[in-house]
Chains A and B, each alone.
Chain A
Amino acid sequence: MSHILPELPYAYDALEPYIDARTMEIHHTRHHQAYITNLNAAIKDKVELQQMSVDQLIRNLDEIPEEIRTIVRNHGGGHANHSFFWPLLKKDVALAGPIADAITADFGSFENFREKFTAAATRVFGSGWAWLTVDNRKLEIVATPNQDSPIMLGKIPVLGLDVWEHAYYLLYQNRRPDYIAAFFNVINWEKVNDNFLAAVN
């Protein structure tokens, strides 16, 4: 089984003006596709690995043959992270439901969560991601370098933000904080809530 590029659940311009259509198209058709192409090439002779989902592949990297482990970590991670990321984005979805209560319970307030998540995303040096994860039923903010996933750390992501420069450079250039602020206008909280319920149940 080859991994294939998942379709976006919306048009490339659906997130304008917060994330532009050109960025979305290149990010999806070039960057995400490249991770998939490289992952498929790495496992093309490994029949047993081809039966596994990408999340299964990156969950136990120690069990991946050493000669392809870094490729699976980087490009499998890239495929998993981007596949997870796209459905998290949607305009005009209000924060509601159990995820809203859990954020208040674990961070004191939504504003405090927002501040901590923004700080984590701003602080990633170089390429990487900021995440809201569930670990032992508790929400946590985690940052990972490059295409490392919280799944590799045994944590379950419910929200993630790509802070590789390719995610924002065409529209925001060096102004990563502006991109992070814009992201808060396109979080699909219904999807985050679904992810949260799946993680705690």
Chain B
Amino acid sequence: MSTDQHAVVSPLTLPSLPYPDNALAPVISANTLGFHYGKHHRGYVDNLNKLVAGTDFADLPLPKIISETAGKPDKATIFNNAAQIWNHTFYWNSLRAAGGGQPPALLKEKIEASFGTLDACKKELAAAAMAQFGSGWAWLVLDGDKIKVVKTANAEVPMTAGQKPLLTIDVWEHAYYLDYQNRRLDYVQAVLDKLINWDFAAENLG
């Protein structure tokens, strides 16, 4: 699912939100989702379609555009928009109404093997989300056989470091500013306790 969600090639279309825009309230308001999905996510799609029109990238699926442009300074604008499309789609799927709670058994076992307890894993995710200075993302990833917490700046993705993303939390200020202003920790903790979609993370284990 995580790599197939953008298999359709040019022009890229904005994937549907997997729930109505009020589904995550009150943790994330419909107002925030309206801007985040309807303006930011859509903006990245529109930008990328303009950037790749008439180039070789226009015929590539999104994950391929990301991998082909990663780490190339002259392709940074294409990478940024492409990766942000992918990141946001992955983020929407990392959340659900009435999320949180306990992960499915296999994922829980792996989390406990890596972090000791689920609570320790959530604490590490929150710490990574807080430690990301400026804009970026906190991730739960599979790195080899081990589950890890990582953070990335701006549009950066864990795949470029050979890690398989399991779930993500957006810590760009636009993800929480209308609802939480400077209180990023309140947003992150509420997401982890009430919205995080452990089933999606378990599916991504493969």
Q: Which residues of A are interface residues toward B (Cβ below 8 A)?
A: 26, 30-31, 34, 74, 125-128, 145-147, 164-166, 169-170, 173-174
Contact = CB atoms under 8 A, between A and B. Distances in A.
B178 A125 contact: no
B143 interface: no
26 contacts: A26-B181, A30-B182, A31-B182, A74-B133, A125-B77, A125-B154, A125-B155, A126-B134, A126-B136, A126-B153, A126-B155, A127-B135, A127-B173, A146-B133, A146-B134, A147-B133, A147-B134, A165-B172, A166-B173, A169-B173, A170-B177, A170-B178, A173-B174, A173-B178, A174-B39, A174-B40
B19 interface: no
Nearest to B177: A169
Contacts of B134: 126-128, 145-147, 164
Contacts of B178: 169-170, 173
Q: Name the residue among B43, B80, B154, B155 with the largest chain A CB count within 10 angstroms.
A: B154
Contacts of A166: 173, 177, 181-182
Top 3 closest A-B pairs, CB basis?
A126-B135, A165-B173, A127-B134
A164 B173 contact: yes
Interface residues of B, number: 21
A173 B173 contact: no
A144 B174 CA distance: 19
Nearest to B154: A126
A169 B182 CA distance: 11
Contacts of B174: 165, 169, 173-174
A34 B184 CA distance: 12
Contacts of B43: 174
A80 to B, nearest CB: 15
B194 to A, nearest CB: 23
Interface string B119-146: 0000000000000011110000000000
Contact of A126 (B40, B172, B182): B172
Contacts of A170: 177-178, 181
A172 to B, nearest CB: 11
A118 to B, nearest CB: 17
A201 to B, nearest CB: 34
B21 to A, nearest CB: 15
Contacts of B80: 125
A174 B136 contact: no
A139 to B, nearest CB: 26
Contacts of A31: 182
B2 to A, nearest CB: 23
Nearest to A23: B181
A164 B134 CA distance: 8
Contact of A26 (B77, B154, B182): B182
Contact of A165 (B39, B77, B133, B177): B177
Interface in B68-84: 76-77, 80
B152 to A, nearest CB: 11
A169 B43 CA distance: 16
A32 to B, nearest CB: 10
A30 B181 contact: yes
Given A127-B135, A166-B182, 4 more contacts: A26-B182, A30-B181, A164-B173, A169-B178
A136 B186 CA distance: 46
A128 to B, nearest CB: 8
Contacts of A165: 135, 172-174, 177
Contacts of A34: 182
A174 B42 CA distance: 11
Q: Name the residue among A74, A146, A169 with the largest chain B CB count within 10 angstroms.
A: A169
Nearest to A146: B134
A39 B65 CA distance: 40
Contacts of B181: 26, 30, 166, 170
